[in-house]
Amino acid sequence: MNLTTEPTSLNTPAGGDPIDPFAGGGEMGALLRAHPWETTPLGPVSTWPQTLLTSLSLCLRTNFPAIIAWGPELIAFYNDAYRPILAGKHPWAIGRPAPEVWSDVWVVIEGMFTAALSAGLSTPTYDMPFFMLRKGYLEECYFTGCLSPITVEGGAVGGLLSIVTDTTERVIGERRLRTLRELVRAASDPVHPAAASAIVRSCEASCQVLGGNVADIPFSIVYLLDEDGRSARLASTSGIEAGQAASPSVISLDDDHAPWPLRHVVETRAEVLATDLAIRLDNPAVIDVVGSALVMPLAPAGQARLNGFLIAGVSPMRRDFDESYRAFFHLIKEQVTGAISNASAFEEERKRAQAFAEIDRAKTAFFSNMSHELRTPLTLILGPVEDALAESAGSLHGDSLNTVHRNALRLLQMVNSLLDFARLAAGGPHLSFARTDLSTLTRDLASSFRSLTERAGIKLVVDCPPIAQSVYVDPAKWEKIVLNLLSNAFKFTFQGEIVVKLHESGDQVVLTVADTGTGIPAGELPHVFERFHTVEGAKGRSIEGTGIGLSLVQELARVHGGSVHVSSVEGQGSTFAVSIPTGSAHLPAEQIVEGGARPPSSVRPYLLEASQWLETVQEVDVPILPRSEAAPHDERARVIVADDNADMREYLTRLLSTRWQVEAVADGVAALESARRHPPDLILSDVMMPRMDGVALLGALRGQPETRHVPVVLLSARAGEEAILKGLETGADDYLVKPFAARELLARVQTHLDLARLRREWSAELARADERAQRLTGEMRARDQFLTIASHELKTPLTPLALQLAMARKLLRAGLTSGASVPVEKLTVGLESAARSVERLTGLINNLLDVAKTTSERIDLKREQMDLGDAVGRAVEGLREALNASKSEWHTRAERSVTGFWDPRAIETVACNLLSNAIKYGNGAPIAIQIDCDDKVARLRITDHGIGIAEEAKSRIFERFERAVSADHYGGFGVGLWLARRLVEAHGGTIGVASSEGAGTTFTVELPAYPDAKQLE
């Protein structure tokens, strides 16, 4: 393209002055006019081409930042709006070549200039980053603009025009806002319940976010202030490793050489800008980009005490630490402070929840123990009394009367201990402290155990010299301290010695009770004085106990102004030490009495209870007493009785030996050894025993071929407890809950002995029915399990199976008595009828068990962070055999991993029930499983293409025992969908259905993806 010839001098209009290209250019126009252009490669203004003059005039008059680079040397012209971009380089840059003006970024922009000059190409840029030396430091800048060529005559490029906008503040502002957004999100993320410290976790999350913006925050350090306020502990860092000179694990506020002025921040509650970072930072890479750091206090509004400190590195080599930069740091500080406060509230809530849970566990353990402790003496009182009432004479005498008396005293002791503990826990009863000869009192109490220790082969050493100083105690309460400690030592000491000492130590009197017993595991030592706490699996003479003895000792020592401590080595023994002050200054004046009669001693119940731990009942074989039903065979059946309580062993032996041979042992180990030597006809065992309990004994018996089929009846004082359930699942034949009636016990034992005998007599004749009999036995156990949970203290379990077996027994007995042949066909029909009844009852019991438990109990969810897809996968795997059998194809689609805080077992149950429903009613059609999630809700959809659900049935299918189709065709009890709804609603979610007849069904489960802290309780 040919242009008009460029003039070689300024155009001069007719009759006027020469055109001034700098007119209207403001301050820059004046500066350009005054510049000595004749000394530059461009020469005098009068020689400049018209294109340059026109372009310059336009450049100076525009309000947008613009710069012209003209000629081969790229001489710079710019307008007033461009001056802030040059900053400190103005006015030095006027008339200088562009490579000099932008020497700090020329390596970046040279290619753009070359392309525009050589090819005549315009080059746009958007938020292009630069690091420029225009203010004396390497500054981070961003620009949006366009570099365009200016053509002269002939189409050649005479120069370049660049119009730009400085977008630095916008780009940096967006980056900082993004950091603040991520901090808010990190603070709102749920904390895993298993996290060691929610506060430290929140600090780590905050530093992780800050570490993603090294341009504004080269490094960050968070310290948390200790409770004493004199030291700070490192919580987290970013951009700098923990343990460096600037980030030690602990900083003492009293240390004058601490790396950061934390003490000054605490005293003034004001931030401090630290500038001498070279002496603090030992990482050269960090020193190169960090000029200073702001030390800020972390304290919620209105709170006097600081939570900690945030130390944030400032980068003056990138941005000046202006008000905007400082305000950004203040917003960061507020977010971190809020995150710590939220985490602190969460942690406090979790601690409260744990404390409540611990109290609940303690109460459960206490009531379980008390159930056992109270039921045993009640059995031994009620049993002999009922026997006496049944006799014509109607009186108690001899061993029976002694048993009743001992157990009544034991019951009284337990009640008194409970009352003492309750009064102390409620603030304490009125105590009477009197000046007491503590040496004599303690020696007498300890010596009362001497006969017991001698019988047990244990040495008792009592060393209680006179106490010179006066000592005030409540004698009755001191008795309980001494007797509880002595009883505890005797219970867990099998050989060696027990040493009781009383001595002065300054202004204290110290009682020590040391033994060479089994000791206490190290992990249990911190808990031995907790109320209701018992050491599981501890080896002792008995496992009986309420778990309040040692806690009562601690409380009684406390009301005396003293304390109790324990030291122990497992397997070597334990030492308990009770210290109380001498004198009476520490006691309430109104509770101090002078003289007074000593209350009756409470030592006898302790001695009676401890003496039971030594008793061993030998095998009893007494003549057969007359009874209404004589045994149909000559030899009496042999029964092993296992119980750790001597009175209970003696009572059971006396009760059973009138009919059968009885061998009584004190624990499961002895029972197992006897059964292996000579398998008995029946074993009657307590559930709770030392060394080996009844459940473990049952498992060991079932694991040995020679004892596998021995009937086992369990005696339990914990009705409905897990031990009974485990026993039934393992294979117990029956159980009785204490207290029980003697007649019921005899009837149960007789029934199971008769059943065992019948099994032996029928073994040859009914060999082909053995498998069915085993199935019936298993169903009978399942029946007993259901009855255990449903009634807890079931005494007369009657089922169709028992009725059929009783009928079969009568038929057989009638045949044996009359000499006629046994009607085998009729027996077989009866057994088949029993089998059908039990099979139907088993299904009914299982369904009712789920319904009863879910209806009567609050659903206790055990939440944890889990993947919804994993739970569905486990459900699919568990139903794979059913899926294969139905020939259904299935596929799972999940757009991404979906996680939340749910109960894995409950969610798996929901998925399993819905999948089972799809298999049952899908008629072999494909099954689709879809998992997705938005910000607040996780969804699980399970779709089948089966028979569908009628419109009128949709409103009731989630109710108990409701069905959409007849049970005649598809079976089932109608509780699966009801249970799924209960579990989903317990999570705060919903479950819905979309279906039409013949077109398939879709169930949709919606669960909160991020439940709040209240839902996690």
Q: What is the DSSP string of 123-140?
A: EEEEEEEEEEESSSSEEE
CA–CA distance, 971 with 932 (Å, rounded to integer): 33
CA–CA distance, 876 with 889 (Å, rounded to integer): 12
CA–CA distance, 647 with 442 (Å, rounded to integer): 29
- Left if phi > 0, otherwise alpha if psi is -120 to 50, otherwise beta: which for 228? alpha
**Token pair listed for 821:** 């042949």
Q: Which residues of the chain have pLDDT under 50?
A: 1-16, 193-195, 287, 616-634, 769, 773, 775-776, 778, 780-799, 836-837, 839-844, 846-847, 967, 1013
CA–CA distance, 828 with 838 (Å, rounded to integer): 15
For tokens 């987290």, name the residue.
236
CA–CA distance, 331 with 979 (Å, rounded to integer): 48
pLDDT the model gives residue 973: 54
pLDDT the model gives residue 629: 40
**Token pair listed for 488:** 């505890």
- Report phi then psi at 93, rounded to 5: -75, -10
Under 8 Å CB-to-CB from 932, ≥6 apart: which residues?
894, 895, 898, 938, 939
Beta strands at 712-716 and 734-737: parallel, antiparallel or unpaired: parallel
DSSP secondary structure code for residue 471 in this structure: B
CA torsion 258-264-266-268 (nearest 10°) is -170
**Token pair listed for 116:** 């525009």
Nearest to 412 by CA among 542, 602, 275: 602
For 452-490, b/e burial (b = at least 16 CB within 10 A) is bbeebebebebebeebeeebbbbbbbbbbbbbbbbbbbb
CA–CA distance, 774 with 382 (Å, rounded to integer): 37
State percent of the chain over pLDDT 70.
71
Is the bond into 1008 cis (omega within 30 degrees of 0)? no
**Could you count the other beta carbons within 10 Å of the beta carbon of residue 785?**
19
pLDDT the model gives residue 194: 46
CA–CA distance, 732 with 713 (Å, rounded to integer): 6
**Max Cα separation, the chain?**
158
133, burial (CB in 10 Å: exposed 0-12, middle 13-18, buried 19+)? middle
DSSP string, 153-177: GGG-EEEEEEEEEE-HHHHHHHHHH
Residue type, 129: P
Helices (H), 864-903: 868-878, 880-886
DSSP string, 299-330: --TT-SS--EEEEEEE-TTTS---HHHHHHHH
Sheet holding 592-593, edge to edge: 472-473, 433-435, 592-593
Collapsed DSSP state (helix, strand, coil) of residue 233:
strand
Helices (H), 160-242: 168-188, 198-210
